[in-house]
Amino acid sequence: MTQDFAASSNAGALTRYYFVRAGVAAAWVAAAFTAGRSHAAVAAVLLVLYPAWDALANARDAQANGGLRANPSQALNLAVSAVTALAVLLALHGGMHAVLAVFGVWAVLAGLLQLATGVRRWCSYGAQWAMVLSGAQSALAGAFFLKQAAGPVTPSIATIAPYAAFGAFYFLVSAIWLAVRTRRA
């Protein structure tokens, strides 16, 4: 059953979705390390856009795969990411320690929800090990962000950018792995 489903158009849509997620994350990282490092206003916009994009992407993915009711981990991830975008906007007034703390909580929650989505999809699509690993690593990174947020060193967007870079990498690996698996099936 897994191979038949992996060969379906749903697997192709998921592959394209993973490629888009990888591309957007990579573009965000590039913007963070260039304009975001030297312009506080650009960094602020990028910091709000990252979880907002995640909310939009989770909504789109869930709708393409049976809707939000059929994908409860993504529905919850959509809500968590949307609230996080607003929380980052508010936290910007408190400084980067506050922003990093918000990102830390979000990374833990979003990582656990991504892990749950990857495990659920593994039965249907296969080739989800990178998404499972990404979710687990996101949760660990979130805990590290929380520790850094309480520390004396002032974080910046460059503190968060490697987290997004790993996300881009995992989405790219998942896209390639699923594309290869689908072609073989």
Residue 87's pLDDT band (cuts 50, 70, 90): very high
Q: Do residues 110 and 78 make contact, with C-beta atoms less than 8 angstroms apart?
A: no
pLDDT at residue 8 greater than cutoff 80: no
- Give pLDDT tens digits for 134-184: 999 999 999 999 999 999 999 999 999 999 999 999 999 999 988 998 888
* Tokens found for residue 112: 């656990």
Quote the pLDDT of residue 9.
61
Which whole number is the average pLDDT over 120-130?
A: 78
* Tokens found for residue 129: 């090990």
Residues ≥6 apart with Cβ < 8 Å to 118: 128, 129, 131, 132, 134, 135
Quote the pLDDT of residue 122.
81
Amino acid at 177: W
Quote the pLDDT of residue 131.
87
Q: How many residues does the chain have?
A: 185
Sign of the dihedral through C-alpha 73, 77, 79, 80: positive
Ordered by start, the domain boundaries in the chain are 2-184
Quote the pLDDT of residue 4.
44
Q: With a threshold of 0.85, does the pTM exceed it?
A: yes
Quote the pLDDT of residue 1.
37
Residue 126's pLDDT band (cuts 50, 70, 90): low
